[in-house]
Amino acid sequence: MRFTKYSKYIPDLADAVNLQGLLDQLGDFLLQSGFTGGGGTGLPDDAGFDDQQSLDALKRAILQALMDSKQLSPEMLQYLRGESTGDPERDQAIEQALTELLDAIIQRLIDEGYLNLSEPPKMPEGHRAMFGPHGRAAEAAQQVHFSLTDKSIDFLGYKALKGLLGSIGKANVGAHDTPFLATGVEAEGVSKAYEFGDVLNLDVPGTLTSAIAREGLGMPLNLEYEDLMVHQSEYRSSAATVLMLDCSHSMILYGEDRFTPAKKVALALTHLIRTQFPGDTLRVVLFHDTAEEIPLSALASAQVGPYHTNTAEGLTLARRILTAQKKDMKQIIMITDGKPSALTMPDGRVYVNSMGLDPAILKATFREVANCRRAGIMINTFMLARSKSLVDFVKHVAQICRGKAYFTNTMTLGQFILMDFMKRKTRRVG
């Protein structure tokens, strides 16, 4: 007879780590937008970004998060501070334990669908130490790269949304309210006489009351077309939104990263729309020397670069995207911190001028703002700078398109955008 022997399960430190809490701590690292020095698009394509997305960089970030949350043993902390125990074998055992801990945490992240890893590299030949700063494991970790899965991006969006809503206060979000009433299944208003085309959500007491008032109480009761009464519900509208993100060099200049908070807001909006406004759409456009639409799945890895600010090109692309959408409300949410400094010429060349507000660039930008207004597109601008020339520029944009202008900073950006998005009253079309 076969026997199975059970022993008490003793979880190790890696099993005790809360992965969602760890991801929340790693949010800034995973969404970082550091200037890489490359050219081209706002998506990563150079060595600078590869270093940030390496497995070795991820391990360092996890280690720092564990230290900040005080989840490491005193011996591990002592070793990380460079304080030797006096026993070389003990020091080596602690180093190996740290390496195995980080490997186990990363494996859990992969197993639970939060991370993807690239193909592991070939191990270098020869006899070399496995652990240590110059060991084979460290060299391999620098060559392996990770990417976020849809699950981790959605989680980061949820955490960003939760944090933003918490800072705003209680908010009742379920759909975009309008001042109009329509016939629907959920009754929220007084009944009305039935008209051709209404949903036949019949108000039976109202219908019978109308018939009795006309013919008196008696049997059989004759119902006429004009006796029909239907319930009314609040009319709900859908919205198409394009989020325009400035990824020019100025977004990380002057000792402040403005792009990472903007990405967090975009992820929060994505989660909000997907869960609370399923009829809405959200698209993302990066504008720099030119403009490009990126999929939402690529938003977390978008980067700033050595670019100028081609606002007109971004508005043109956003307008084309929204024109193809059949929604009641169409809007552009533009997040920027600088003046328009680039313009796409008719022959495709890009004209740039970073010295002040160029009249030709301004004229083209205002012309595209007017095109958006004629297309029924609202532009809400969130400016992360407050110089007089930029304030005047943003106010003029708001006047042309009858939109709103917000002068904010990275701390209040998300609150302004979410409050504007959730409280906006949309109009009924038709």
The structural domains of the chain, with segments of one domain joined by +, span 13-148, 154-174+237-423, 181-234
Q: What pLDDT does residue 11 have?
A: 53
- List, in order, residues 6 or more apart from 1 with CB less than 8 Å away: none
Residue in the block written with tokens 């391999």: 140
- List, in order, residues 6 or more apart from 51 with CB less than 8 Å away: 57, 142
Q: What is the CATH number of domain 154-174+237-423?
A: 3.40.50.410
SS3 sequence of the chain: CCCCCCCCCCCCHHHHCCHHHHHHHCHHHHCCCCCCCCCCCCCCCCHHHHHHCEHHHHHHHHHHHHHHCCCCCHHHHHHHCCCCCCCHHHHHHHHHHHHHHHHHHHHHHHHCCCEEECCCCCCCCCCCCCCCCCCHHHHHHHHCEEEECHHHHHHHHHHHHHHHHHHHCCCCCCCECCCCEECCCCCCEEEEECCCCCCCCECHHHHHHHHHHHHCCCCCCCCCHHHCEEEEEECCECEEEEEEEECCHHHHCCCCCCHHHHHHHHHHHHHHHHHHCCCCEEEEEEECCCEEEECHHHHHHCCCCCCCCCHHHHHHHHHHHHHCCCCCEEEEEEEECCCCCEEECCCCCEEECCCCCCHHHHHHHHHHHHHHHHCCEEEEEEECCCCHHHHHHHHHHHHHHCCEEEECCCCCHHHHHHHHHHHCCCCCCC
pLDDT category of residue 128 using cuts at 50, 70 and 90: very low
Least confident of 107-111, 386-390, 406-410: 406-410
Q: Give mean pLDDT, residues 211-220.
A: 83
pLDDT category of residue 86 using cuts at 50, 70 and 90: confident
Highest mean pLDDT range out of 45-59, 173-187, 200-214? 200-214
The neighbouring-strand residues paired with 379 are: 332
> Could you count the other beta carbons within 10 Å of the beta carbon of residue 421?
22
The dihedral over CA atoms of 253, 259, 262, 264, expressed in degrees to the nearest 10, equals -130
Q: What pLDDT does residue 428 have?
A: 38
CA angle 106, 110, 115 (to 5 degrees): 90
What is the value of pTM for the model shown?
0.64
Q: What pLDDT does residue 185 have?
A: 42
Render the burial of 120-154: b for 16+ CB within 10 Å, e for the rest: eeeeeeeeeeeeeeeebbbebbeebbbebbeebbb
Q: What pLDDT does residue 427 have?
A: 41
Amino acid at the residue 367: R
Q: What is the mean pLDDT of the chain?
A: 75
Least confident of 202-216, 248-262, 318-332: 248-262
**Residues in the chain, total:** 430
Between 3 and 398, residue with greater pLDDT: 398
Asked whether the CA dihedral 101, 102, 105, 106 is positive or negative, the reply is negative
- List, in order, residues 6 or more apart from 424 with CB less than 8 Å away: 176, 329
Q: Give mean pLDDT, residues 288-311.
A: 87
Contact 23, 155 (CB under 8 A): yes
Give Cα separations from 160 to 146, 156, 197 (angstroms): 22, 6, 42
Least confident of 244-258, 299-313, 346-360: 244-258
Render the burial of 51-64: b for 16+ CB within 10 Å, e for the rest: ebbbbbbbbebbbe
Between 80 and 226, residue with greater pLDDT: 226
Give Cα separations from 341 to 165, 255, 260, 309 (angstroms): 34, 21, 22, 5
pLDDT category of residue 120 using cuts at 50, 70 and 90: low
Contact 109, 151 (CB under 8 A): no
Contact 235, 178 (CB under 8 A): yes
CA distance 68 to 62: 10
End-to-end C-alpha distance for the chain, whole angstroms: 79
Q: Which of 140, 152, 76 is nearest to 116 (CA)?
A: 152
Q: What pLDDT does residue 35 have?
A: 52
Q: Give mean pLDDT, residues 280-300.
A: 89
CA distance 399 to 370: 10
pLDDT category of residue 323 using cuts at 50, 70 and 90: very high
